[in-house]
Chains A and B, each alone.
Chain A
């Protein structure tokens, strides 16, 4: 069990602690995953560094055409935020589907990403949005697309012993763009997804200009249905193209047989339904 718990009030202070502790300290935000991981001995930090009091990483704001989500932002804040609902609706829907309200009140969007589970709902949405993570360490700050933060199943490229994701930068949806999140789960709360799909489309004159279609858990990380995306570029918006794109999602999907959450066969078969429905909803929203 950890022996100390610190709450720095700036990113600089937090990074300093991490550096001084040389790997014995670890970042905690909401802690709803981390505490369970410590209990199961998956992680064994001596010191926890709580970043949720740091003013500079709280809150949701816009900067030009970008939506900035601080590392302290909880799932519930994201789900209910008028800014997120307006400019990145798929993230609001994704965050809304996590766990329960108590969990959403504590757990953070960024924590969900760093925890690196393949079907982390908000991460799937963020990849569809083309979001970028701002990662600070004591000697540098780098920006990495969320899509590139994965190093294997459940493994993130963020080293929580010496760096902090401070913000997520999301290109805000513009007129003519729409997004949607669909999820297949065994009950409506307190359930991990059997499948989740996040879609962002931009349309013009009844044609798809481009689409980002992200699906999980069909691989070690959120997976882009790149064949589907390719098919939709410049395609007419109709039932046939959407159906074809939905089916092409299977080309990059490789779900395993889960003992609890559906066989590979079932998830492959229903994946196209989820993609189709997400595309239909995203298109309808883009048109409004």
Chain B
């Protein structure tokens, strides 16, 4: 089988891998790198459970051929926040009950982070657009939307200090 090298940055660290070119970014993240935070919900770009951030934008990693990732900055759920200090979006999700079964959560958080990184003061329409491709069957999206808004408010407050 033809294998190729691919280099990219993952959660701030450089990564060099030898991969099958027909693998997707999701395959590599989960099966090769064993980073199982990013979930596979459908494998067809229809549910958003596999959302990661690539060069600042939210994408369905199940539809990204791994070679497309060469030279890019990829962020997965494992790379945001940490034990000492969760990311404001993670904090808001936890505080406002935006998490139920947790399967859509990593993808939801990545979509939300991608939004807030570029649009720190989003309105309701922008929040809904950002998570429009993330299906959640548990929450009805209500507390998720509230959490994204709260995270935005918190970041705004911290930045104004």
Q: Do chains A and B touch in the complex (CB under 8 A)?
A: yes
Chain A positions near chain B (C-beta within 8 angstroms): 1-5, 7, 28, 31-32, 35-36, 48, 50, 52, 76, 99-103, 105-106, 188-190
A1 to B24, CA, bound (A): 12
The interface residues of chain B lying within 8 Å CB-to-CB of A99 are 45, 133
Q: Does chain A have a CB within 8 A of B146?
A: no
Q: Are A103 and B133 in contact (CB under 8 A)?
A: yes
- Given contacts A3-B21, A31-B63, A106-B59, whether A101 and B130 have CB atoms under 8 Å apart is yes
The interface residues of chain A lying within 8 Å CB-to-CB of B70 are 7
Q: Are B63 and A32 in contact (CB under 8 A)?
A: yes
Q: Give me 17 A-to-B residue pairs in the complex whose CB atoms sit less than 8 angstroms apart, sorted by A's number.
A: A1-B22, A3-B1, A5-B65, A5-B66, A7-B67, A32-B63, A35-B63, A35-B65, A36-B44, A100-B134, A101-B133, A102-B133, A105-B57, A105-B58, A189-B133, A190-B46, A190-B133
The interface residues of chain B lying within 8 Å CB-to-CB of A101 are 58, 111, 129-133
Q: Are B2 and A102 in contact (CB under 8 A)?
A: no
Q: Does chain A have a CB within 8 A of B38?
A: no
Closest to B44 in A: A36
Closest to B1 in A: A3
- Give the size category of B's interface with A: 20 to 34
Interface string of B105-134 (1 = CB under 8 A from A): 000000100000000000000000111111
A31 to B62, CA, bound (A): 11
Closest chain B CB from A242 CB (angstroms): 29
Q: Are A5 and B132 in contact (CB under 8 A)?
A: no
Q: Does chain A have a CB within 8 A of B90?
A: no
Q: Does chain A have a CB within 8 A of B34?
A: no
Q: Quick one: which of A1, A5, A102 contacts B67, CB cutoff 8 A?
A: A5
- Given contacts A4-B2, A5-B4, whether A188 and B63 have CB atoms under 8 Å apart is no
Q: Are B58 and A5 in contact (CB under 8 A)?
A: no
A171 to B131, CA, bound (A): 34
A7 to B46, CA, bound (A): 26
Q: Are B24 and A35 in contact (CB under 8 A)?
A: yes
Q: Quick one: which of B22, B48, B51, B135 contacts A3, CB cutoff 8 A?
A: B22
Q: Are B60 and A102 in contact (CB under 8 A)?
A: yes
Q: Does chain A have a CB within 8 A of B28?
A: no
Q: Are B68 and A100 in contact (CB under 8 A)?
A: no
Closest to B56 in A: A105
Q: Are B65 and A102 in contact (CB under 8 A)?
A: no
Q: Are A106 and B133 in contact (CB under 8 A)?
A: no
The interface residues of chain B lying within 8 Å CB-to-CB of A48 are 21, 65, 67
Closest chain A CB from B1 CB (angstroms): 8
Q: Quick one: which of A4, A7, A100, A106 contacts B64, CB cutoff 8 A?
A: A106
The interface residues of chain B lying within 8 Å CB-to-CB of A7 are 67-68, 70
Interface residues of B in 4-24 (CB under 8 A from A): 4, 20-22, 24
The interface residues of chain B lying within 8 Å CB-to-CB of A5 are 4, 21-22, 65-68
